[in-house]
């Protein structure tokens, strides 16, 4: 056995045979952990849109462009992640640049997604200040308790998002017994002109906090946000593995005095103020054949009812008819402002069901993953389906082909989307 192992070693490392009587040396600097790290990716993403020329979204965006049935778009993304750590201090950066070119518009956007300083005087205490994504919440597609984060896109929930400028402290304590860990994270969020100005009303400092427990192998968070920029809100979430391959999770959020602005079919604006409740319940299950199921129900207490959305679509139709008859686009511009302010938010209605099924290496195709994602609007029965195929068999490369098909009648959320279909190819190189 010793002879066999020696032979295998020599065959695996033939340079040993040539070493002869040369003295063996070992350089510790070759494995020394460096204080800095830099990486990221470059991504090319061409997209083909099959336009729904009768939809309200098309009427708003292309009423004066005369677009055909399809639209080509080319996207180039460059994202850099860098960190430097020395002693108790650390500096972390995430920079993102997006270039977009299509027949109707071109744009270039460079944003600092994250850039913060971290001080860790002990394993139980961490201070951080700067721009950061907190990633609060346990849901996969949506996080109603993520009060200090930008909203996830359910079509791309894993994409990095721009953070906010915050100052935070993490205090962590471990125990023996049913309560294994407790942590407290207070956060200050300044909101001024040019600093978090899209967070809420400016010239305020808001405060948030998260109290975390690991109790009986269940992750539990209690969350609060208060201040002058947004009304006070409270949150709770949990996550637990029932068995190693079956996890359940949930979130609940209460927003005090939420102000919702909506429009009727004649273009008149109204305001409503109430305490809004949003919640999510979900599960994740992994089978022995490596099929993953993610199922989530999401209730959006800040969303619009079916009647409110039908009034909005009716107003857009009237505004478009006015433009065709008089060449006056004032109502359409008003519709664009309303859309940007509220109706254009991701999943702006009330009740949704989300399902994602992914299969690792289908048909024994190595390094591939096939997925199907569905989003159902329970209120109006419209939905979207997104099949995709991911391949990672080339070193440092990730190739993905994805299509999205919104389906629904007129005056429904997905039926009034800009596209009948969308096809995109993503080629991403990691460095």
Burial class of residue 94 in the structure, from the number of CB atoms within 10 Å of its CB (0-12 exposed, 13-18 middle, 19+ buried) = buried
What residues in the chain have per-residue pLDDT under 70? 1-31, 67
Q: Note whether 144 and 235 are within 8 A (CB).
A: yes
Tens-place pLDDT, residues 9-48: 333 444 433 344 445 455 555 567 789 999 999 999 999 9
pLDDT, residue 31, reads 64
The model carries a pTM of 0.89
pLDDT, residue 19, reads 41
CATH of 36-430, one of 3.30.70.20, 2.60.40.10, 1.10.10.10, 2.40.160.10: 2.40.160.10
Q: Which residues contact 23 (CB under 8 A, 6 or more apart)?
A: none
pLDDT, residue 25, reads 55
Tens-place pLDDT, residues 118-147: 999 999 999 999 999 999 999 999 999 999
Q: Note whether 175 and 166 are within 8 A (CB).
A: no
pLDDT, residue 29, reads 56
């Amino acid at each position: 056995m010793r002879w066999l192992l020696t032979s295998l070693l020599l065959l695996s490392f033939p340079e040993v045979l040539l070493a002869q009587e040369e003295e063996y040396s070992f350089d510790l600097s070759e494995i020394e952990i460096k204080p800095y790290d830099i990486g990221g990716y470059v991504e090319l993403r061409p997209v083909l849109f099959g336009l729904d020329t009768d939809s309200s979204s098309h009427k708003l965006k292309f009423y004066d462009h005369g677009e055909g049935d399809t639209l080509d778009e080319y996207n180039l993304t460059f994202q850099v992640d860098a960190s430097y750590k020395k002693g108790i201090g650390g500096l972390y950066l995430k920079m993102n640049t997006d270039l977009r070119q299509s027949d109707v518009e071109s744009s270039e956007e460079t944003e600092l997604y994250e850039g913060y300083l971290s001080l860790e005087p002990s394993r139980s205490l961490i201070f951080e200040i700067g721009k950061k994504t907190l990633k609060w919440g346990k849901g996969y597609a949506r996080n109603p308790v993520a009060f200090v984060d930008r909203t996830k896109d359910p079509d791309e929930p894993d994409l990095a998002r721009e953070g906010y400028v915050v100052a935070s402290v993490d205090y962590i304590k471990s125990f023996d017994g049913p309560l294994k860990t407790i942590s407290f994270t207070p956060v200050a969020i300044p909101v001024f002109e040019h600093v978090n100005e899209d967070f809420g009303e400016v010239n305020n400092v808001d405060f948030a906090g998260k109290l975390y427990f690991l109790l009986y192998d269940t992750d539990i968070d209690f969350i609060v946000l208060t201040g002058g920029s947004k009304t006070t809100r409270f949150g709770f979430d949990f996550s637990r593995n029932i068995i190693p391959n079956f996890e359940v999770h949930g979130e609940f959020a209460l927003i005090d005095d939420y102000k919702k602005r909506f429009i009727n079919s004649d273009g008149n604006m109204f305001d409503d103020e109430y305490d809004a409740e949003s919640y999510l319940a979900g599960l994740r299950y992994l089978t022995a054949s490596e099929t993953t199921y993610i199922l989530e129900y999401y209730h959006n207490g800040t969303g619009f009812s079916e009647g409110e959305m039908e009034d909005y679509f009716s107003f857009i139709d009237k505004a478009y008819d006015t433009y065709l008859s008089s060449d006056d686009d004032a109502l359409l511009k008003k519709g664009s402002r309303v859309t940007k302010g509220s109706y254009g938010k991701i999943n702006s209605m009330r009740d949704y069901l989300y399902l994602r099924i992914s299969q690792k290496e289908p048909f024994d195709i190595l390094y591939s993953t096939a997925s199907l994602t569905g989003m159902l609007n329970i209120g109006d029965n419209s939905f979207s389906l997104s099949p995709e195929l991911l391949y990672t068999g080339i070193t440092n490369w990730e190739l993905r082909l994805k299509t999205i098909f919104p389906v629904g009648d007129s005056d429904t959320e997905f039926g009034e989307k800009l596209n009948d279909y969308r096809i995109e190819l993503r080629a991403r190189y990691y460095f």
